Amino acid sequence: MKFLMCDPKFYDVFYSINPWMKIENKPSNSLAVEQWNKLVELLRSLGATVEVMEGKSYLPDIVFTANAALMIGNTAYLANFTHPERRPEKELYTVWFNLNYYETTEVVDFFEGAGDALFDYNRHLFAGYGFRSSKGGLLYYMNFCSQMGSIPVHYVQLVDPYFYHLDTCFCPLKDGFALAYPPAFSEESFATIKKYMDVIEVPEQDAKRFACNAVCLGNKVVIPSGCPETYERLSQFRYEVYDTDVSEFIKAGGACKCLTLRLDEFA
């Protein structure tokens, strides 16, 4: 598996665009860099390839590369960010994708990449809307999916602003399972997830430690530290679980999955 990550040397919180971000609770950049390096080392030790792009001082959130695009084959379906603070990120992402021989395509409506569009292992696509991605933005890109063949798409509505991206409250796992935090979804949407996935429900305390914001490498699952119940539940289902401290990034509303973009989805 291949992931894109961004050097965190410019990571900071100097605006607030989600409930986790508080100017008075700034992250320690030195500690964040240390935590990021450990995540990179862990992913590489588990067999992943990690590509690293450079950030810019005026883009503190570009470290959360999951929002850059949805990757299908060699094409990056680029994000169109809801908040003006993040919109300049698209230019840097576009340059990186072009320099690395990926094709790119854009959407007019709001869409925040793999933060709100997640494939399961059966190649069903779950598309989250409600806070960042609009249903219009999702529909535009999902039309490309339908043109590629039979890629089933399931739309799910997010209702809790603390879980503003789908990948903060939902994580597809190997063998038809998924981590999910039920209160983050409308009742109908959670029923949709349960229709297609065997759900391992994440308790509130772990959800607020971003337990669902996990990185999956086959049977190996990397979760944020401090999520003991989720760690135990995953272990009971015979997943190999690895935890790592990403607490400085949680201060901006992201964790392990937010810091990575899978580049070889559908490759």
CATH number of residue 238's parent domain? 3.75.10.10
pTM for this entry: 0.96
For residue 32, being part of any structural domain is answered with yes
> Which residue segment(s) compose the domain that 121 sits in?
2-262
Catalytic residue from among 165, 212, 216, 227: 165
For residue 267, being part of any structural domain is answered with no
For residue 89, being part of any structural domain is answered with yes
For residue 50, being part of any structural domain is answered with yes
- For the question of residue 258 being annotated catalytic, the response is yes
Asked whether the beta carbons of 154 and 124 are under 8 A apart, the reply is: yes
Question: Is beta strand 69-72 parallel, antiparallel or unpaired with respect to 49-53?
Answer: unpaired
CA distances from 234 to 69, 121, 148, 207, 231 (A): 28, 17, 33, 14, 5
How many structural domains compose the chain?
Answer: 1
Catalytic residue from among 145, 171, 227, 258: 258
- For the question of residue 165 being annotated catalytic, the response is yes
For residue 239, being part of any structural domain is answered with yes
Asked whether the beta carbons of 154 and 120 are under 8 A apart, the reply is: no
**Tens of pLDDT, residue by residue, the chain (267 residues):** 999 999 999 999 999 999 999 999 999 999 999 999 999 999 999 999 999 999 999 999 999 999 999 998 899 999 999 999 999 999 999 999 999 999 999 887 899 999 999 999 988 999 999 999 988 878 777 776 665 567 888 999 999 999 999 999 999 999 999 999 999 999 999 999 999 999 999 999 999 999 999 999 999 999 999 999 999 999 999 999 999 999 999 999 999 999 999 999 865
- Tell me how far apart the alpha carbons of residues 44 and 46 are, in angstroms, rounded to a whole number: 5
- Tell me how far apart the alpha carbons of residues 78 and 97 are, in angstroms, rounded to a whole number: 10
Asked whether the beta carbons of 171 and 257 are under 8 A apart, the reply is: yes
